[in-house]
């Protein structure tokens, strides 16, 4: 969407110091090089440099600059998910997620910043390689301790900050130290400069080490810190005695800083390493409070860790996080303290409790105001990375029961949360483990959500089978999932064309929901009954049931179910030919879906409005809605959605009397559907082609159809949206512009090149040195964007005589 921000870079937590030339160079490099990897040891400032570079490049990338923090995830297959999530791309049924991401990025000038690739280096390399080879305008900036080792990668080794030399103390490292010391309230005068210089040298200019040291200046003078660190280098207790010097230096600084913490701070810091990404105070209290620290102490301890630069936080202290290097060190200490298993277990349990609570507030609790439901939905989504980490632990530790419980209380993993099929992978992974001590009812419950995900993935018969198994195994008092299963079966059976069987399930689900007072499922059941009636052509019944469904949905208040029932009413109105009402019903759902951030449903709904508006001859509205829908589908990578919009645009064109445009758009839609493996001829296309043949003749229609099939979806869409004809490729930049870039001397040398002269011969002719000629030629090549001398000769030969 044009008005959404074109980057997701965080606000910088403090001043960025130095590296001006590096920033300049890197920004230029990224223009020229598809993949740049910033390499170096932990703590050397890779992430910070990458963020700074990327921030300066936002104006150069109309497709956006997107930060993907891989430190949040632990398993290779999640790399694709994480990228998709950042880009707002949803999985397409039947298509590997990476393909969808690739299709979304193709043709976009955008920059992906993949931060901290080292622990997932193979998958990162594979993904980057696949993306850049398919997307010529894409640029990737990665940070990693190791290079990706893929073709076309430029490895850029991040050096430490410049150190002061004997002549002057004004160096990047000193400036950073003084800035961070000032941030903790220490004003260091000129008398302490020699000690600061000594300290910067001892810490080899490593930014993280300098920051940790500077954070201590309120209690220790730079001279004393330097003295203690000197001892420290001899006393490294963690591994890495044989590691490279920079790594040892950093480790010594981190360890020194850790050892200076109070016992409580030490315990908390190592426990904070269990969080996948950022966390708030409440989560820290729930997971980390256990002897020897109490929940009430955590706020103060956390504040202490922030003061010592070991924990970072935003301005309002709402979110806290650890730098990757610190997190790894903390994790190692947690391991050594023998607390890792217990902590991850508690993390899993706390997430189960939290998500169970959010699930209840969002969906099952009666009479919650919408604001509270929405807040719960958002809180649940914010915990996605931690959910994945907890699920990983459940699988790793064989705690299948808790893992399954987490799966079924996580709306973020469900299609409802805009996450089409992730739930499928998790439930399948957990069920493949030893389920011996998992209660049968828990398994039946998890099958319900597996079936739900499979429907979204268009695997209808498997979904149906599992939904039936789930129903058979669910305890009678598990009313909510039972109702959800009935509704799901209704949807699946209707999609399979089995309306009679669907009726029974819709009735049973509604009866259960009515008995238990569950308004969500009452609405879903009534909507299902309305859909069954509609399929059977009973329009009045479908209308009445749909109205009742919407009333129940309003009672519940969740925008998702309200939108769903409104759309059902729109479909019923369309079926009876009442387009005005249909459009009103669809329009009603739009703000609800927007509020929810349900992009997939919103795109579908906008396309419906566009099509109906076209039939009503409200062409302006139709254009605007179809364009918005197209943008959303493109942004979320849904090619099926793009095809849907093209069909809508075809209707619009025909209603406007542009039958040629209608054929082109329909052909482009058909080609796109075939490309993504959806083969269905629709009646409408046949009818459209019939009308076109009558009007334009057989030959012209066939020609238009085949032209439309080769048009890109974007070109076809623009054709109808703007009445724009795809122009032949713009001619290369005008020659006079290029000529004026060259100096007189360069033009002269270009002219001499057409005679096939060597640098030496040109040098003799012009009485200059061959090295100077070579330098002129390098300048010419750079200005004209050429890659060989011969190209200059060809160009010069084609110039008007005056050049030669």
Partner 1 sequence: MCAQVALLTVFPMDERIVMVDSGTGLKLTEEQLDERSAVAAIHLRHAGVRPGDTVLICLPVGPDLLVATDAVIAAGGVVWPLPAHLDAPVLRDRIQESGARVMISNVREALDAAEESRVRIVLSMADLSGEPAAPRRP
Return residues touching partner 1 (CB under 8 A).
22, 25-26, 28-29, 31-34, 152, 154-160, 244-246, 733, 737-738, 741, 754-761, 771, 774-775, 777-778, 781-791, 793-794, 797-798
* Other beta carbons less than 10 A from residue 328's beta carbon: 16
Q: What does the alpha-carbon distance between residue 96 and residue 76 come to, in Å, rounded to a whole number?
A: 15
Cα–Cα distances (Å) from 34 to 37, 109, 134, 150, 635, in that order, read 10, 11, 12, 11, 22
Q: Residue 173 CB, nearest distance to partner 1 (Å)?
A: 12
Q: What does the alpha-carbon distance between residue 550 and residue 561 come to, in Å, rounded to a whole number?
A: 8
Q: Which residues contact 56 (CB under 8 A, 6 or more apart)?
A: 23, 27
Q: Would you say 42 or 88 has its CB closer to partner 1?
A: 42
Q: With CA atoms as reference, report the closest residue to 284 among 255, 313, 254, 326.
A: 313
Q: Residue 245 CB, nearest distance to partner 1 (Å)?
A: 6
Q: Would you say 50 or 567 has its CB closer to partner 1?
A: 50
Q: Residue 131 CB, nearest distance to partner 1 (Å)?
A: 15
Q: Which residues contact 639 (CB under 8 A, 6 or more apart)?
A: 92, 100, 103, 633, 672, 675, 676, 713
Q: Would you say 397 or 799 has its CB closer to partner 1?
A: 799
Q: Residue 496 CB, nearest distance to partner 1 (Å)?
A: 50
Q: Residue 64 CB, nearest distance to partner 1 (Å)?
A: 19
Q: Would you say 32 or 191 has its CB closer to partner 1?
A: 32
* Token pair belonging to 631: 């943008």
Q: Would you say 4 or 788 has its CB closer to partner 1?
A: 788
Cα–Cα distances (Å) from 292 to 270, 296, 297, 349, 412, in that order, read 13, 12, 10, 20, 34
Exposure string (b/e) for 131-140, b if CB count within 10 Å is 16 or more? bbeebebbbb
DSSP 229-258: HHHHHH---SS-TTS-HHHHHHHHHHHHHH
Q: Residue 348 CB, nearest distance to partner 1 (Å)?
A: 41
Tell me if 100 sits within 8 A of 89, measured CB to CB.
yes
Q: Would you say 62 or 756 has its CB closer to partner 1?
A: 756
* Token pair belonging to 750: 């270009």
Q: Would you say 318 or 733 has its CB closer to partner 1?
A: 733
Tell me if 506 sits within 8 A of 493, measured CB to CB.
no
Q: Which residues contact 396 (CB under 8 A, 6 or more apart)?
A: none
Tell me if 112 sits within 8 A of 143, measured CB to CB.
no
Q: Residue 786 CB, nearest distance to partner 1 (Å)?
A: 7
Q: Would you say 139 or 373 has its CB closer to partner 1?
A: 139
Q: Residue 33 CB, nearest distance to partner 1 (Å)?
A: 6
Q: Would you say 318 or 741 has its CB closer to partner 1?
A: 741
Q: What does the alpha-carbon distance between residue 759 and residue 770 come to, in Å, rounded to a whole number?
A: 5
Q: What does the alpha-carbon distance between residue 620 and residue 53 come to, in Å, rounded to a whole number?
A: 42
Q: Would you say 274 or 749 has its CB closer to partner 1?
A: 749
Cα–Cα distances (Å) from 267 to 208, 259, 293, 442, in that order, read 21, 11, 8, 35
Q: Would you say 172 or 422 has its CB closer to partner 1?
A: 172
Q: Would you say 246 or 347 has its CB closer to partner 1?
A: 246
* Other beta carbons less than 10 A from residue 767's beta carbon: 6
Q: Residue 720 CB, nearest distance to partner 1 (Å)?
A: 32
Q: Would you say 33 or 516 has its CB closer to partner 1?
A: 33
Q: Which residues contact 372 (CB under 8 A, 6 or more apart)?
A: 361
Q: Would you say 64 or 160 has its CB closer to partner 1?
A: 160
Q: What does the alpha-carbon distance between residue 654 and residue 647 come to, in Å, rounded to a whole number?
A: 11
Q: Residue 206 CB, nearest distance to partner 1 (Å)?
A: 11
Dihedral sign for Cα 591, 596, 602, 603, please: positive
* Token pair belonging to 264: 């409580």
Q: Residue 201 CB, nearest distance to partner 1 (Å)?
A: 13
Q: Would you say 534 or 784 has its CB closer to partner 1?
A: 784
Q: Residue 221 CB, nearest distance to partner 1 (Å)?
A: 29
Q: With CA atoms as reference, report the closest residue to 470 among 489, 496, 456.
A: 489
Q: Residue 139 CB, nearest distance to partner 1 (Å)?
A: 9
Quickly tell me which residue has 């965080």 as its tokens: 10
Q: What does the alpha-carbon distance between residue 328 and residue 554 come to, in Å, rounded to a whole number?
A: 48
Beta-sheet strand order (sheet of 35-39): 65-69, 111-115, 139-144, 35-39, 153-157
* Other beta carbons less than 10 A from residue 303's beta carbon: 14
Q: Residue 126 CB, nearest distance to partner 1 (Å)?
A: 20
Q: Residue 501 CB, nearest distance to partner 1 (Å)?
A: 58
3-state secondary structure at position 290: strand
């Amino acid at each position: 969407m044009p008005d959404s921000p074109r980057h997701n870079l965080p606000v910088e937590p403090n001043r960025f110091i130095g590296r001006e030339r590096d920033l300049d160079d890197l920004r230029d490099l990224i223009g020229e090089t598809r993949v740049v990897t910033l390499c170096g040891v932990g703590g050397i400032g890779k992430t910070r440099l990458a963020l700074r570079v990327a921030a300066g490049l936002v104006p150069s990338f109309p497709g956006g600059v997107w930060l993907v923090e891989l430190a949040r995830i632990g398993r290779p297959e999640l790399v694709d998910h994480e990228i998709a999530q950042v880009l707002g791309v949803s999985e397409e049924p039947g298509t590997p997620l990476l393909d969808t991401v690739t299709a979304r990025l193709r043709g976009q000038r955008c920059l992906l910043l993949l931060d901290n690739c080292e622990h997932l280096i193979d998958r990162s390399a594979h993904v980057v390689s696949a993306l850049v080879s398919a997307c010529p305008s894409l640029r990737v900036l990665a940070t990693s301790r190791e290079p990706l080792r893929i073709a076309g990668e430029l490895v850029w080794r991040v050096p430490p900050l410049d150190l002061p030399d004997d002549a002057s103390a004004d160096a990047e490292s000193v400036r950073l130290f003084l800035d961070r010391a000032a941030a903790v309230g220490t004003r260091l005068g000129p008398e302490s400069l020699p000690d600061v210089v000594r300290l910067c040298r001892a810490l080899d200019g490593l930014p993280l080490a300098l920051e940790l040291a500077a954070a201590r200046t309120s209690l220790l003078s730079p001279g004393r810190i330097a003295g203690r660190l000197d001892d420290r280098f001899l006393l490294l207790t963690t591994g890495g005695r044989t590691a490279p010097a920079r790594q040892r230096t950093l480790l010594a600084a981190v360890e020194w800083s850790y050892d200076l913490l109070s016992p409580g701070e030490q315990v908390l810091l190592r426990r904070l390493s269990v969080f996948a990404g950022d966390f708030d105070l409440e989560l820290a209290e729930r997971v980390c409070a256990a002897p020897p620290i109490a929940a009430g102490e955590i706020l103060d301890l956390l504040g202490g860790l922030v003061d010592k630069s070991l924990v970072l936080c935003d301005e309002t202290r709402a979110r806290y996080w650890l730098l990757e290097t610190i997190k790894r060190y903390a994790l190692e200490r947690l391991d050594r303290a023998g607390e890792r298993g217990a902590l991850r277990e508690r993390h899993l349990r706390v997430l189960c409790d939290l998500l169970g609570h959010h699930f209840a507030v969002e969906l099952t609790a009666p009479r919650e105001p919408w604001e509270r439901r929405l807040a719960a939905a958002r809180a649940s989504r914010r915990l996605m990375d931690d959910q994945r980490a907890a699920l990983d632990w459940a699988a790793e530790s064989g705690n299948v029961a808790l893992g399954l419980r987490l799966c079924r209380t996580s709306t973020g993993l469900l299609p409802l949360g805009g996450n089409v099929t992730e739930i499928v992978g998790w439930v399948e992974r957990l069920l493949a483990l030893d389920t011996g001590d998992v209660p049968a009812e828990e398994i039946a419950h998890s099958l319900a959500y597996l079936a739900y995900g499979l429907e979204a993935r268009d695997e209808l018969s498997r979904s149906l089978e599992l939904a039936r198994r789930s129903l058979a195994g669910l305890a009678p008092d598990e009313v909510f999932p039972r109702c959800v299963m009935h509704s799901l079966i209704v949807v699946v059976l209707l999609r399979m064309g089995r309306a009679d069987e669907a009726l029974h399930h819709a009735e049973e689900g509604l009866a259960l929901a009515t008995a238990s007072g569950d308004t969500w499922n009452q609405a879903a059941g009534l909507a299902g009954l309305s859909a069954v009636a509609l399929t059977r052509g009973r329009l009045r019944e479908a209308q009445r049931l749909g109205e009742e469904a919407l009333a129940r949905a309003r009672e519940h208040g969740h925008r998702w179910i309200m939108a769903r029932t409104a759309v059902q009413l729109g479909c019923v109105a369309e079926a009876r030919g009442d387009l005005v009402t249909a459009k009103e019903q669809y329009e009603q759902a739009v703000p609800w879906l927007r509020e929810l951030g349900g992009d997939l449903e919103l795109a579908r709904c906008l396309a419906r409005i566009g099509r109906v508006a076209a039939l009503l001859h409200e062409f302006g509205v139709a254009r605007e809605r179809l364009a918005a829908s197209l943008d959303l589908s493109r942004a979320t990578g849904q090619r099926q959605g793009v095809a849907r919009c093209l069909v809508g645009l075809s209707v619009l064109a025909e209603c406007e009397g542009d039958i040629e445009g209608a054929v082109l758009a329909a052909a482009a839609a058909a080609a796109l559907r075939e490309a993504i493996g959806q083969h269905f001829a629709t009646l409408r296309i046949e009818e459209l082609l019939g009308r076109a043949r009558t009007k334009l003749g057989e030959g012209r229609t066939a020609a238009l159809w085949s032209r439309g099939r080769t048009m890109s979806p974007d070109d076809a869409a623009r054709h109808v949206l703007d009445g724009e004809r795809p122009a032949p490729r713009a001619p290369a930049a005008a020659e006079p512009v290029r000529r004026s870039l060259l100096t007189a001397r360069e033009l002269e040398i270009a002219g001499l090149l057409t005679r096939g002269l060597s640098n030496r011969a040109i040098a003799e002719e012009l009485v200059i040195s061959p090295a100077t000629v070579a330098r002129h030629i390098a300048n010419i090549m750079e200005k004209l964007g050429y890659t060989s001398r011969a190209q200059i000769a060809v160009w010069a030969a084609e110039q008007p005589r005056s050049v030669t």
